Amino acid sequence: MAENPFFAALAMTVLAGLSTGLGGLAVLWFVPTSRTLARSLGFAAGVMLSVSLADLLPDSLAFFGRSMTPAGTGMAAGGLLAAGMALAALMG
């Protein structure tokens, strides 16, 4: 049963659904203020950045690692991440 990918996918789907429900309940219990909204959005942005970086960094290290040193690879990956963030900020 643990080796069946269906049950793993089902468990992740149920967990995602429960997380959405908990987020909805949090809205009902707390009074929304601009400070709470700013903290929530900051937390969500940090989670998205860390997930994106953790997902993309190994692929970029493998791709650039063939032609660059490890330090150069890290600087290239960080520079491209910063450029993408700056472009997103300029777009609004």
* Tens digits of residue pLDDT in 15-73: 989 988 888 887 788 787 899 889 988 999 999 888 887 887 788 778 777 778 878 87
CB-side neighbour CA atoms (13 Å) of 7: 4
- Rounded Cα distance between 76 and 23, Å, is 37
Which pLDDT does position 1 carry in this prediction?
Answer: 53
- What confidence category does residue 80 fall into, taking pLDDT thresholds of 50, 70 and 90? confident
- Which residue from 42, 81, 34 is spatially nearest to 59, judged by alpha carbons? 81
Which pLDDT does position 26 carry in this prediction?
Answer: 79
> Are the beta carbons of 47 and 75 closer than 8 angstroms?
no
